[in-house]
């Protein structure tokens, strides 16, 4: 079995915050992470999901050797991030979304080439890789543009290329699609998937507060809030945790005199709710198990009821978050706007 | 230490530093910075000297202060060039964290970033000396210049100033952006105590030791001796030392500063990671 790409054991981080001018001598403690235990397998796309201020970025900073943990330890690519940062760094890279870093007086290509030199890449190889990656994110026609002349979104794309360009063992993406438009976000997600498919030893850890992004991309997700990991599993397993019943919605043209009580009395059907939907009847079924669906279909068919639309309702990661925290991500962010990320 | 890592960090940082430093979109600003500023500084000294001595330019003190002032340009240029990279990357370009997580040798990177300032500083030094020789009759005969001593002193001096720059850069890791003038500030403070414009004997006795522990004092003396050897004979401060002794002292103090720079960098690097300062932005 391969060694884990990332191991996090009991990691905690406390920031000491200086008081205001009137309370200079007081130092407040802000707990950003508490006893975090996680393991990311090699080849995995692992997501840290949580609201702003949950501690996601703090954890990324620790894993990328920028910040020392207050307690616990973490290893990346087999090396301790606090004790062996020099061994971790050649094996990782990191991109933070929502910022416009880079040397504005250099062109896109020059910026990327310069960073490739710090990683010891031969120039010819780095130019080939830069050009290919710029093409993948739709930035090839701007490669000779000074990065100061790029929009924030295009600069972010340049930085995303910087992260992939060095072909790290473990890549950390901190909110990579933050501030990007829909098309650009799609390009980035495609790049992420393609990069991982090329080599099964590559590992990617991304943070996001976009539930759909985590659901779509990640093999496993850790839900984090107020510095604690609340749950960690595959998106489908997380959703199954809160799905106690099978939920279906069947829209029919007309009930043809079929009563909802007749459907409710079928074996395995817990509840049927009917509502009108633009001249059609939308029937919501709560089933004890999915197998009960065949009886429902048979009943509708025998009553000559024409089915217009059929939907299976699955819980989302947002539902999982609400179940775990008691509030939605938006509500948490509104309630704790100053939390340390 | 990985040699190839150190070399590529230095080389690429030198390229980057030159791209930044040479990016003068306005040649007038470049002229102000590299030519007019040092000449104006020299002119102020010359006027002050002229008033105090009633226009007597034939004493050894005039070349003493003129050469001292000219070579002192290197002090600000190199110390600021090296330490400024921290503020520039952290606050302006917001790339310090990406430099930090890259497999580079951070001190070598900072030194590389200072090379461009050394080159523009050299330009200012040459302009200042040439101006003095042509228009102010500063005594300089290129045929009598002790070139081996000049080159040796320049190399030792640059190495020493680089170590001082690393010390400031390490401290800069822990301070906010409004300390951005730390290099200039330290250079300004040392201007008084390092015998740049007047011999240490002129200072009150209790303050002279500051000058004697500063390697800049010995370096400036060596530079003056290499250019105009007679100047040093006129002042008792360092007269008793031979060129070789001065070079030895300079090497010794440079090694001391190198050791300080090494351990201070390690400590500041540790503190910066402990306190999460590497990617903070204080330039709101």
- B284 within some domain: no
Structure tokens at A333: 């962010």
Cα–Cα distance, A324 to A318 (Å, whole number) = 10
Question: Cα angle at B56 between B54 and B57, to 5 degrees?
Answer: 135
According to the model, what pLDDT value does residue A323 have?
84
In this complex, the residue of B16, B98, B273 whose CB is nearest that of residue A67 is B273
Query: What is the number of domains present in chain B?
Result: 1
According to the model, what pLDDT value does residue A19 have?
66
Q: B128, B109, B117: which is closest to B173 by C-alpha?
A: B109
Q: What is the mean pLDDT of residues B202-227?
A: 90
According to the model, what pLDDT value does residue B2 have?
62
Q: Over 90: is that where the pLDDT of A60 sits? A: yes
Q: In this complex, do A105 and B23 lie within 8 Å of one another by their Cβ atoms?
A: yes
DSSP class per residue in B173-241: HHS-GGGTTHHHHHHHHHHHHTTSSS-GGGS-GGGHHHHHT-HHHHHHHHHHHHH-HHHHHT-STTTTS
**Residue A226 neighbours by CB distance under 10 Å:** 18
- A341 within some domain: no
Say if residue A71 is in the same domain as residue A119. yes
Residue A30 near residue A340 (C-beta atoms within 8 A)? yes
Query: What is the number of domains present in chain A?
Result: 2
pTM > 0.90: yes or no: no
Structure tokens at B97: 């964290």
ipTM for this model: 0.87
The pLDDT-based confidence of A41 (bands split at 50, 70, 90) is: very high
CA distance B96 to chain A (A): 9
Q: pLDDT tens, B55-101?
A: 887 788 888 889 999 999 999 899 988 988 998 999 889 999 999 99
Cα–Cα distance, A211 to A44 (Å, whole number) = 18
Cα–Cα distance, A173 to B135 (Å, whole number) = 61
CA distance B209 to chain A (A): 36
C-beta pairs of A212-216 under 8 Å, 24+ apart in sequence: A212/A316, A212/A317, A213/A47, A213/A177, A213/A185, A213/A189, A214/A47, A214/A49, A214/A317, A215/A316, A215/A317, A216/A189
Cα–Cα distance, A138 to A132 (Å, whole number) = 10
Domain of residue B62, residue span: 3-275
In this complex, the residue of A66, A90, A119 whose CB is nearest that of residue B273 is A66
What is the C-alpha radius of gyration for chain A, rounded to an integer number of angstroms?
Answer: 25
Q: Over 80: is that where the pLDDT of B181 sits? A: no
Q: pLDDT tens, B238-283?
A: 888 899 999 999 999 999 999 999 999 999 999 999 998 998 877 5
- Residue A10: which CATH number? 3.40.50.300
Q: In this complex, do B4 and A61 lie within 8 Å of one another by their Cβ atoms?
A: no
Interchain CB contact of B16 with A (< 8 Å): yes
- A181 within some domain: yes
Lowest mean pLDDT among A161-170, B84-93, B156-165: B84-93
Say if residue A251 is in the same domain as residue A117. no
Q: Over 90: is that where the pLDDT of B216 sits? A: yes
Say if residue A124 is in the same domain as residue A187. yes
CA distance A215 to chain B (A): 28
Q: In this complex, do A90 and B278 lie within 8 Å of one another by their Cβ atoms?
A: no
Q: In this complex, do A120 and B94 lie within 8 Å of one another by their Cβ atoms?
A: no
In this complex, the residue of A64, A99, A120 whose CB is nearest that of residue B94 is A99
Q: Over 70: is that where the pLDDT of A171 sits? A: yes
- B105 within some domain: yes
According to the model, what pLDDT value does residue A228 have?
95
Q: In this complex, do B97 and A106 lie within 8 Å of one another by their Cβ atoms?
A: no
Cβ-Cβ contacts under 8 Å for B228 (sequence gap 6 or more): B63, B67, B139, B140
- B200 within some domain: yes
The edge-to-edge listing of strands for the beta sheet with A71-76 is A27-40, A6-18, A71-76, A79-80
Residue A252 near residue A305 (C-beta atoms within 8 A)? yes
- Residue A265: which CATH number? 3.30.70.260
Domain of residue A215, residue span: 6-240+319-335
The pLDDT-based confidence of A163 (bands split at 50, 70, 90) is: very high
């Amino acid at each position: 079995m391969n060694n884990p790409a990332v191991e996090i054991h009991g990691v905690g981080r406390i920031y000491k915050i200086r008081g205001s001018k009137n309370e200079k001598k007081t130092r407040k403690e802000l707990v950003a992470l508490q006893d975090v235990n996680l393991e990311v397998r090699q080849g995995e796309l692992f997501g840290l999901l949580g609201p702003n201020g949950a501690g996601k970025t703090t954890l990324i900073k620790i894993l990328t050797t920028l910040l020392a943990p207050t307690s616990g330890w973490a290893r990346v690519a087999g090396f301790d991030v606090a004790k062996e940062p020099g061994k971790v760094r050649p094996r990782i890279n990191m991109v933070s979304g929502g910022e416009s870093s880079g040397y504005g007086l250099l062109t896109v290509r020059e910026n990327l080439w310069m960073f490739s030199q710090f990683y010891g890449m031969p120039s010819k190889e780095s130019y080939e890789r830069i050009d290919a990656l710029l093409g993948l994110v739709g930035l090839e026609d701007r490669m000779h543009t000074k990065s100061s002349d790029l929009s924030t979104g295009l600069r972010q794309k340049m930085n995303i290329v910087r992260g992939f360009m060095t072909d790290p063992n473990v890549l950390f993406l901190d909110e990579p699609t933050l501030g990007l438009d829909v098309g650009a976000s799609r390009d980035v997600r495609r790049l992420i998937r393609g990069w991982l498919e090329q080599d099964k030893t590559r590992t990617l850890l991304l943070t996001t507060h976009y539930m759909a992004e985590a659901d779509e991309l990640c093999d496993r997700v850790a839900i984090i809030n107020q510095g604690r990991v609340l749950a960690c599993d595959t998106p489908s397993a997380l959703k199954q945790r809160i799905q106690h019943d099978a939920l279906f919605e069947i829209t029919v043209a007309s009930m043809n005199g079929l009563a909802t009580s007749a459907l409710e009395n079928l074996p395995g059907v817990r509840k049927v709710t009917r509502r009108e939907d633009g001249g059609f009847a939308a029937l919501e079924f709560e089933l004890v198990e999915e197998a009960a669906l065949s009886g429902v279909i048979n009943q509708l068919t025998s009553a000559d009821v024409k089915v217009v639309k059929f939907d299976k309702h699955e819980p989302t990661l947002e539902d999982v978050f609400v179940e775990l925290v008691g509030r939605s991500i938006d509500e948490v962010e509104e309630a704790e706007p100053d939390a340390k990320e | 230490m990985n040699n190839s890592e150190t070399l590529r960090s230095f080389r690429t940082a030198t390229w980057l530093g030159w791209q930044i430093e040479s990016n003068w979109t306005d040649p007038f600003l470049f002229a102000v910075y590299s030519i007019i500023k040092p000449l104006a500084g020299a002119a102020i000294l010359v006027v002050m000297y002229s008033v105090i001595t009633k226009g007597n330019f034939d004493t050894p003190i005039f070349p003493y202060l003129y050469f001292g002032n000219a070579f002192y340009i290197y002090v600000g240029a190199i110390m600021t060039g090296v330490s400024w990279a921290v503020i520039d990357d952290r606050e302006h370009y917001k790339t310090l964290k990406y430099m930090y997580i890259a497999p580079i040798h951070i001190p070598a990177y900072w030194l590389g970033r200072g090379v461009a300032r050394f080159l523009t500083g050299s330009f200012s030094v040459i302009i200042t000396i040439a101006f003095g020789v042509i228009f102010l009759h500063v005594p300089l005969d290129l045929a009598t210049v002790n070139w081996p001593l000049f080159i040796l002193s320049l190399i030792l001096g640059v190495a020493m100033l680089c170590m001082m720059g690393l010390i400031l850069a390490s401290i800069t890791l822990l301070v906010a952006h409004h300390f951005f003038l730390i290099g200039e500030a330290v250079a300004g403070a040392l201007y008084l105590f390092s015998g740049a414009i007047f011999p240490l004997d002129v200072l009150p006795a209790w303050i002279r030791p500051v000058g004697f522990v500063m390697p800049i004092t010995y370096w400036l003396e060596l530079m003056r001796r290499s250019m105009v050897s007679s100047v040093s004979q006129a002042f008792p401060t360092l007269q008793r030392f031979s060129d070789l002794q001065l070079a030895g002292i300079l090497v010794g103090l440079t090694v001391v500063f190198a050791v300080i720079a090494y351990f201070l960098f390690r400590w500041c690097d540790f503190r910066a990671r402990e306190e999460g300062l590497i990617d903070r932005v204080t330039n709101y």
